[in-house]
Amino acid sequence: MDICKKYKDLILTNYIDGEMDTEMKQQIDSHLLVCPNCRRFAEEVNHFLVVPFKNALRENVPEHLWLSVKKNIEKENRLNEKAGNLIHRLMESLSFPVLAPVVGSFVLLILVGSLIFYNQQMKQGKEKEQGEYLVYLLGATEGSPETENNVPETPIEKYFL
């Protein structure tokens, strides 16, 4: 790689930004003393690309900016406060001293009612099942009219049975 090209790349970055170790800087400085082309390049870079930005004026912040920022923050705080108040009121209305006993009693009533209803259903179901089973047992011991009809009548039935 051409030595001038290598140095020009470094001049464009680390050299003019002062981000270079002493040894390397000395090498480039020595090169600049003997190479007018690279020296001109370094001067141009510094004059046109570094100094204008370094000397740029710092602008004063417009006065009205803080007022706008403050206004936005206060507006948002008010909205948050309103939303917070609404939630707070909702929570308060549901709080213990006022509605809790009523809500509690209602929930308890529903629980007890559903428990009683469930027990009754279970009881009825069991009784029905037991009755059906008794009928089945009685039928089995007494014999059903169907058994009498099982006597073979046709010649084929007689042959097979």
Partner 1 sequence: MQDISDDVLIKASQGDLKSFEELYKASAGFVYNVALRIVNNREDAEEVTQEIFFIIYHKLRGFRFESSFKTWIYRITVNYSINFARKTSITRNKTIEYEDTSIAGTVVGDVQKGIDKEHREKVIEDLLNIINPDQRACIVLRNMEGLSYEQIAQTLKININTVRTRLKRAREKLLRGKKAGGLWTFVKNTKI
Residues near partner 1 (CB under 8 A): 9, 12-14, 17, 19, 44-45, 48-62, 65-66, 68-70, 72-74, 77
| The two three-digit tokens of residue 84, written as one number | 């917070």
Shorter beta-carbon distance to partner 1: residue 21 or 59: 59
**Smaller CB distance to partner 1: residue 17 or 148?**
17
Question: CB 50 → partner 1: shortest distance, Å?
Answer: 6
Nearer to partner 1, 14 or 27 (CB): 14
Nearest approach in angstroms of CB 98 to partner 1 is 32
| Cα gap 82→74, rounded to integer Å | 12
d(CA 123, CA 135): 19
